[in-house]
Structure 1
Amino acid sequence: MHTAGTRGLGSLSSTDVQPLEPPSDDRWIETAEALMHDECWCWGQDVLYPDGNLLIRYGLERTAALGADGRTAGYTGSINDRGGVWLRGAGVFYSSGSGSGIFLGRYDMRPRVITRDAPPLDTWIERGLDAFPLATASEQGIATACLLVPEACAWIAAYEHWITEAVGVEHREECLERWARGETPAGEFAQRWDALGRGFRTETLFLS
């Protein structure tokens, strides 16, 4: 599994973009689901970029598993020597290598937690997120979500910042022109993921 990207896990600095205010606790899930819906669409468009697959250029690689239609089930890249990120059209799995990981779904951003550093792809593909327990099911799950959700958001923010640097905000504008359901301004993907990560708290889990 390749190392994905070069910017690490930190939030974007104030010299990169103007930070946005995080959503309130009772709006976090709704805001996150709208953003993830747009993000997953854009990942699919990044795969089709005319000058080459942008996910692969960033350092991700195709997973060996295939979806029901026989196409690539997703992309994966390492975060460090132990953890990693897995991207699918249905959402993301993230682990920093501490023995636990989280799922964040395209249609359900309530964090789900497993005690593994890699997702069971067959189960995820065949049964969806309902196969995995919500973070609120245990104190350990809550602690894991509070640690990893901000890191996962920061990873996606860093990817979006790289997209702007590598191919320009015009690419995101073109992606959204082909997406009638888009709610995210083309130039705000990185800022919104950064704000989501900063705004996630224990209270967020119990207001969804």
Structure 2
Amino acid sequence: MNTRKIKAGNRSQQATEERGVVILLTGNGKGKSSSAFGMAMRCLGYGLKVGIVQFIKGKQLSGEEIFIREKHPEVFFHQMATGFTWESEDREADIAAAEEAWAQAVKLLQDSSYHLVILDELTYMLSYKYLDEETILKALRERPEQQSVVITGRGGGEALREFADTVSEIQDIKHAFRAGVKARKGVDF
């Protein structure tokens, strides 16, 4: 145990740079958005400013939305509100909605008062080519130095993976839905 303690101590002494980070939570498993909202709660616990833009979600009310809107109205919260875009047959309307949501995200990414910005399900906007990858990377590069950003969603491209400081891939091993269990309020939405 002492050896582990020494190794951990050495690593923490080597980490001397203080700046915000970009975290990409990706993969086919459940829990990417939940993890991001956990970080929002952590920031709120410290009295830090949080902004959230949700791409894709928004037609079905979620517990996260209820909690933020009712208990933490100081949190900037914007939803694209088109639902799952793969169910849409109006690509132009989806692109316009993505661009509108991105415009809200850019405002957050330019505001140094935000400690944490969550771009929930942003990776789909890259996969579907609703938003330009270089435009997103440029905004992330130019954000305030102390601002951290969490991006969630499946895929998203290699350039985003390379740019992010931390990439966690959540693996789908088993899911109750495939066994016929309905999504549960408070657990799944």
TM-score between the two structures when normalised by the length of structure 2: 0.28
Q: Which has the larger radius of gyration?
A: 2
Which structure has more relative contact order (CA 8 Å, sep 6+)? It is: 2
